[in-house]
Amino acid sequence: MEIIMKDIKYAPIGVFDSGVGGLTVAREIMRQIPDERIVYFGDTARVPYGSKSQDTIIRFSRQIVHFLRTKGVKAVVVACNTASALALETLQPELDIPIIGVVTPGAKVAAETTVNGKIGVIATESTIESQLYTKVIRSHNPRAQVFGKACPLFCPLVEEGWLKDPVTVEVANRYLEPLLATGIDTLVMGCTHYPLLRGTLHQIMGEKVTLVNPAYETARELKCLLEEEGISNDGMKPVKENMHQFYVSDAANKFRQFANSILPFGVDTTQLIHIEDY
């Protein structure tokens, strides 16, 4: 038993998203818990998730978790707000390893950060419709008023690399104007692509609005969880950058280029898998 526990410590963390956005979460995990190895899956063949039904998101997420388990992961991070909002609750009881999402950690911090009790949430249509951010924020801060806004054009703009382009600024102005008018003092970037637009969002929302990045909070929560479960890598087998693994369901080269633009090291290989087989 002791040997098994020792081995679990050196097992990787499975991280998945509908595509490249979850790399912002993987990046935070690498920063905050550099001793942990990551197996990342980006569902680039079936992105976007943000406009799909709950049944579909559950089916996709279940297949991905099956795939990650074949890689011997010790825990799973659902690095996609949409899958966290629509599938996590269903998958949790099906698994015998810890699985966490990005919504609860982000919502908790937003509830603690606000001073005037007015919180904005920007996310995909499905995440906003699920109302999960609102529920979790209210469970921590019952008096909070939550203003949700779906921003479906942000993901393609990020994937195009137009992070500070005038077109992106114009689109962001249109989306954020009604939120600014509500007087929010906290804005949750509730889609894993959005932290890459942080500069533009900050410019529009101004100094008085705190931007919450659930990726940062999720990495913190993962660190605590691994420690509590006694399955953190003890550093006896240090992780090198080339030990992280990246898998996708389509367009491996495009994914690799994107990964290279946001991760602090070069990603040499991205492997293509047929996710429908899992």
Tell me the two tokens of residue 198.
Answer: 């942080």
**Distance in Å, CB of 229 to ligand DGL, minimum:** 25
**Distance in Å, CB of 158 to ligand DGL, minimum:** 9
Full DSSP string of 90-127: HHGGG-SS-EEESHHHHHHHHHHH-SSSEEEEEE-HHH
Full DSSP string of 23-80: HHHHHHHHHH-TT--EEEEE-TTT---TTS-HHHHHHHHHHHHHHHHHTT-SEEEE--
Return the closest-CA partner of residue 265 out of 244, 248, 235.
244
Spatial contact of 35 and 236, defined as CB atoms under 8 Å apart:
no
Is 82 near ligand DGL (CB under 6 A)?
Answer: yes
When binding is defined by CB under 6 A, the residue of 17, 28, 36, 221 that contacts ligand DGL is 17
When binding is defined by CB under 6 A, the residue of 50, 106, 120, 195 that contacts ligand DGL is 50
When binding is defined by CB under 6 A, the residue of 88, 155, 171, 226 that contacts ligand DGL is 155
- Decide whether 124 or 141 has the Cβ nearer to ligand DGL: 124
Is 105 near ligand DGL (CB under 6 A)?
Answer: no
Is 81 near ligand DGL (CB under 6 A)?
Answer: yes
Is 124 near ligand DGL (CB under 6 A)?
Answer: yes
Angle, CA 226 vertex, CA 192 and CA 195 arms, to 5°: 15
Return the closest-CA partner of residue 222 out of 77, 79, 106.
77
* Options 34-42, 47-55, 67-75, 157-165: segment touching ligand DGL (CB under 6 A): 47-55
**Residue 32 CB burial class (10 angstroms; 0-12, 13-18, ≥19):** middle
Instruction: Spell out the residues 6+ positions from residue 232 whose beta carbon is closer than 8 angstroms to its own.
Output: 9, 33, 35, 36, 223, 226
- Beta strand pairing call for 75-78 and 38-42: unpaired
Is 195 near ligand DGL (CB under 6 A)?
Answer: no
Clarify whether 191 is annotated catalytic: yes
DSSP-derived letter for residue 250 is: S
**The tokens 């919180």 sit on which residue?**
119
**Amino acid in position 98:** P
When binding is defined by CB under 6 A, the residue of 48, 101, 120, 195 that contacts ligand DGL is 48
Is 258 near ligand DGL (CB under 6 A)?
Answer: no
- Decide whether 12 or 21 has the Cβ nearer to ligand DGL: 21
Give the residue closest to ligand DGL by C-beta: 50
- Decide whether 81 or 232 has the Cβ nearer to ligand DGL: 81
Clarify whether 155 is annotated catalytic: no
* Options 42-50, 62-70, 135-143, 263-271: segment touching ligand DGL (CB under 6 A): 42-50
* Options 8-16, 57-65, 128-136, 188-196: segment touching ligand DGL (CB under 6 A): 188-196
- Decide whether 111 or 155 has the Cβ nearer to ligand DGL: 155
**Distance in Å, CB of 11 to ligand DGL, minimum:** 25
Active-site annotation, residues: 80, 191
Where on the chain is the footprint of ligand DGL (CB under 6 A)?
A: 17-18, 21, 47-50, 80-82, 124, 127, 155, 191-193
